[in-house]
A and B are shown apart, each in its own frame.
Chain A
Amino acid sequence: NAGVTQTPKFQVLKTGQSMTLQCAQDMNHNSMYWYRQDPGMGLRLIYYSASEGTTDKGEVPNGYNVSRLNKREFSLRLESAAPSQTSVYFCASSEVGQDTEAFFGQGTRLTVV
């Protein structure tokens, strides 16, 4: 059972480049999330998808877009990367609702130079 799988694990981008972070879960969860984690800032929610076909902004959505492709997959896109987006990104899923226990992917360490 793979759980939540994120790709890539590491990425270096130049300012202005775009990229998509991929996330897939095999737990049949309805809800999926994208977080970023920065030193001293903790986990901050970027976007979430309560169920297939819906997406909503979290605390720090600016500069990001998401797509809930189907129940399994939830992708995060950076259209024009900025150094401020250097962070560790985590995808997570839960059965239903933002206030239930979440299962995390292994993370993507992104550096924007």
Chain B
Amino acid sequence: QKEVEQNSGPLSVPEGAIASLNCTYSDRGSQSFFWYRQYSGKSPELIMFIYSNGDKEDGRFTAQLNKASQYVSLLIRDSQPSDSATYLCAVNADAGNNRKLIWGLGTSLAVNP
């Protein structure tokens, strides 16, 4: 059973700080990694995806991938109260004849003013 694990939190950071969210996965063949944000009562929305080892930056968000250690992380710089949400990690994994997304349970982030 392919797995994606995240610390459920809540992760609490002060406004302006860096929030670091982590995700580990079990399928060494995984090639695509996604971070979604989900506000309470809303649907998940894609923040970033990353395919290659290293860092990928988009505004205040940086995704980091380390395939050797099988983890992917999301850094949020200059955290704002509007960043308070649950962050879902999704990883593609082998499903026999095809590949599918495996979802983590999410990390709850609270940014305190």
Given that A40-B105, A42-B105, A42-B106 are known contacts, is A104 also in contact with B99, CB under 8 Å in the complex? no
Interface residues on A, range: 10 to 19
Is B17 an interface residue, CB under 8 A from the partner? no
CA distance A101 to B32 in the complex (A): 9
Is A97 an interface residue, CB under 8 A from the partner? yes
B46, A98: Cβ atoms closer than 8 Å: no
Interface size of B by Cβ–Cβ distance < 8 Å? 21
Which A27-69 residues have C-beta < 8 A from chain B?
Answer: 40-43, 45, 50
* Contact code string B69-89 (vs A, CB < 8 Å = 1, else 0): 000000000000000000010
Q: Which A residues lie within 8 Å of B99 (CB)?
A: 97-99
CA distance A113 to B51 in the complex (A): 44
Is A106 an interface residue, CB under 8 A from the partner? yes
The contact sample of 11 A-B pairs, CB cut-off 8 A, is A40-B105, A43-B88, A45-B100, A50-B98, A90-B43, A97-B99, A98-B98, A98-B101, A101-B34, A105-B43, A106-B43
